[in-house]
Structure 1
Amino acid sequence: MALLEVNNLEVCFGLRKGEVKALRNIDFKIERGERIGIVGESGAGKSVLGFSIINLISQPGYVSQGEVMFEGQNLAKMNHQQLRSIRGNRISMIFQDPMMTLNPVLTIGDQMVECLMEHRTISKQDARNIAVQKLQQVYIPSPETRLDQYPHELSGGMRQRVVIAIGLLMDPDIIIADEPTTALDVTIQAEIMELMLELCERNNVALILITHDLGVVSQVTQRTFVMYAGRIIEQGPTKEIINDAQHPYTQGLINALPQMGVRGKRLHQIRGAMPSLQSVPVGCAFRERCDYAIENCSHNVPDFTESGGCKVACHMVAELKREEQAVKLEIKGGAQ
């Protein structure tokens, strides 16, 4: 049994103009110690998916369909009290802005000790000792001194390390990291991601990394899910997706990376913009931005097709696979 299994998950937001589906037909599994990446443009539904896993969707949002199974328990059906034993304990979440996680009027030590004593029956001194150990794990110098400091006294990179240490406090089985390096400079970004990779490998912790940066995904994750307009449109081993992307949208994301550009020329960009979730077009949501759209794209939502070691939701790819199969059968028939 997988550590976490998401089945046919749908999330809706009730607005005055009617319901809006933010997530549609999300299916995936993650094993213990596995690292997956969820990528896509802003508005694709990445963060909503992260919040949905631990049932943190606020009204007017709600899980309208599907299940999130964690070791046989459906998190989507749990009440607030039941979820308190899971959130921050078995499943931790790291947010993109550390100041949204850290309380500015409490010291780092107070916040870490409070978290430990909420979930474990230990003394305050034992909790403080564990907090020091976790700060040491994330390579924060003079951890005993840092415990008595307030968040504003630390640099951005140091605050993010503290947030990661808090995420590791309860020795979780899964860490959900939502754009954990967005507010940091490039050098600190690399350090933080190397740190997270090291900690996950050392402690056999599963990681769900939510990001728009394919470069980060390629360095840290083993499998990748590409999202567009609330759906997963391509999934597979990260190396396969980076080296041989099958979906036109994923190809566009990779071609838009600065290192893929030609010196002196404009960077590649995908034309147009992602549709509003209130007006997702019929058929393939990406068709109006796609250079390879065919007639079927205007009428039907594409199913997954296996191609190049990945699963791709694209009518064009499915058509090419059918043509390839037909040619193989023709050659085989001729040989006989």
Structure 2
Amino acid sequence: MALLSVQNLNVKFGGPFGAITAVNNVSFELQKGERLGIVGESGAGKSITGFAMMNLLNAPGFIDRGKVLFDGQDMVRLNERQLRKIRGNRMAMIFQDPLVTLNPVLTIGQQMVETLMAHRRLRQDEAEFIAIQKLREVYISAPESRLGQYPHELSGGMRQRVIIAIALLLDPDLIIADEPTTALDVTTQADILELLLHLCMANNVGLILITHDLGVVCQLTERVMVMYAGEVVETGKTREVINDPQHPYTQGLISALPQQTLPGTPLKSIAGYMPSLLSLPEGCPFHPRCAYASPECTRERPSLVQYRDASVACHEVNRLHQETLVE
């Protein structure tokens, strides 16, 4: 049985003009210890999918339908007491900005010790010992003294290391990392990503990495899921998707990488903009920006079709594969 199984997940946001679909019919599985990247432009639905998996959506957002099975338990249907036994304990989330995530009026030690004592029957000194050990695991120097410091007294990279330590406090089976290096400089980003990969592999922890950075996905994950306008357009093994992308949107993302552009030539880009969720086009949501769009693309929304180890939602790709089979 998969550690995590997301089935036909649909997330909506209520508004004065009716409900808007932000995540549409998303399905995937994650095995224990596996690492999955979720990529796409801003507004693709990546972070909303992550919050929905933890059942952390705030109004006006709500899960309209679908299942999020974590070790067989449906996160969508659990009550708050049941969810607290899983969140932070077996599932943990790393958010974008550690300065916002950490409580500014509590010391690092207070936040770590309270987390431990809320889930484990521990004495204060036992919880402090574990907190120090976790800070040491993420290579924070003088961890004993860090317990008495406040978040604003630490650098951005140090705060993110603290967040990772807190995520690992209760030895979770799964970590969902939502753009974990957004607020950091490039050098610190590399250190944090290397640390996250090392800790997940050493502890056999599953990882869902939400990002717009394909380079990061290639470095950290085994499988990748590409989202566009709230839908999955391509999924497969990371190396295969990066080296041989099938969906035109994935092809555009990869061709826009600086390393794909010859020196002295303009950077490539995908024409147009992601459509507003208030006015999604008929048919394939990517067709207004797609060089391969046909009349069928403007009428019918493509289904996610599996080819070998990958799945792609594209009429043109489907047609080409059918022609190959006939030949």
Shorter-chain-normalised TM-score: which range?
over 0.9
After superposition, what is the alpha-carbon deviation per residue over 1:257-286, rounded to whole angstroms, capped at 9, x for unaligned? 111112112110001000011111111000
> For residues 218 and 146 of structure 1, what CA distance do their matches in structure 2 show?
33
Where does structure 1 lack aligned partners over 5 or more consecutive residues?
Answer: 328-336
TM-score, length-normalised on structure 1?
A: 0.96
Q: Give the SS at the match of 2:19.
A: strand
Q: Give the SS at the match of 2:274.
A: coil
Q: 1:3 is matched with which residue?
A: 3
> For residues 323 and 166 of structure 2, what CA distance do their matches in structure 1 show?
53
Q: 1:176 is matched with which residue?
A: 176
Q: 1:91 is matched with which residue?
A: 91
> For residues 306 and 122 of structure 1, what CA distance do their matches in structure 2 show?
49
Map residues 107-146 of structure 1 onto 2, 5 A cutoff. Answer: 107-146=107-146
After superposition, what is the alpha-carbon deviation per residue over 1:180-227, rounded to whole angstroms, capped at 9, x for unaligned? 001111111111111010000000000000000000000000000000
Aligned amino acid, residue 288 of structure 1:
P
> For residues 276 and 308 of structure 1, what CA distance do their matches in structure 2 show?
33
Q: 1:265 is matched with which residue?
A: 265
Q: 1:14 is matched with which residue?
A: 14
Aligned Cα root-mean-square deviation (Å): 0.9
Aligned amino acid, residue 218 of structure 1:
C
> For residues 208 and 284 of structure 2, what CA distance do their matches in structure 1 show?
26
Q: 1:323 is matched with which residue?
A: 323
Structure 1 position 218 matched with structure 2 position 207: no
After superposition, what is the alpha-carbon deviation per residue over 1:54-85, rounded to whole angstroms, capped at 9, x for unaligned? 10011111111011011111100112121111
Structure 1 position 304, deviation (Å): 2.1
Q: 1:334 is matched with which residue?
A: none
Q: Give the SS at the match of 1:317.
A: helix
Q: Contact 1:249–1:290 (CA<8 Å) still a contact in 2?
A: yes
Q: 2:276 is matched with which residue?
A: 276
Structure 1 position 59 matched with structure 2 position 56: no
More displaced 10-residue stretch of structure 1: 308-317 or 33-42: 308-317
> For residues 292 and 5 of structure 2, what CA distance do their matches in structure 1 show?
33
Where does structure 2 lack aligned partners over 5 or more consecutive residues?
Answer: none
After superposition, what is the alpha-carbon deviation per residue over 1:303-334, rounded to whole angstroms, capped at 9, x for unaligned? 1233474211000000111111222xxxxxxx
Q: Give the SS at the match of 2:326.
A: helix
> For residues 263 and 283 of structure 2, what CA distance do their matches in structure 1 show?
38
Structure 1 position 52, deviation (Å): 0.1
> For residues 304 and 41 of structure 1, what CA distance do their matches in structure 2 show?
19
> For residues 267 and 226 of structure 2, what CA distance do their matches in structure 1 show?
21
> For residues 306 and 20 of structure 2, what CA distance do their matches in structure 1 show?
30
Q: Give the SS at the match of 1:152.
A: helix
Aligned amino acid, residue 166 of structure 1:
I
Structure exhibiting the larger radius of gyration computed from Cα positions: 1
Structure 1 position 113, deviation (Å): 0.3
Structure 1 position 143, deviation (Å): 0.5
Q: 1:191 is matched with which residue?
A: 191
After superposition, what is the alpha-carbon deviation per residue over 1:228-253, rounded to whole angstroms, capped at 9, x for unaligned? 00001000000001100000100110
> For residues 306 and 28 of structure 1, what CA distance do their matches in structure 2 show?
12
More displaced 10-residue stretch of structure 1: 306-315 or 135-144: 306-315
The number of equivalent residue pairs is 327
Aligned amino acid, residue 295 of structure 2:
E
Q: 2:161 is matched with which residue?
A: 161
> For residues 185 and 308 of structure 1, what CA distance do their matches in structure 2 show?
39
Q: 1:206 is matched with which residue?
A: 206
Q: Give the SS at the match of 1:217.
A: helix
Q: 2:247 is matched with which residue?
A: 247
> For residues 40 and 202 of structure 2, what CA distance do their matches in structure 1 show?
28
> For residues 257 and 212 of structure 1, what CA distance do their matches in structure 2 show?
11
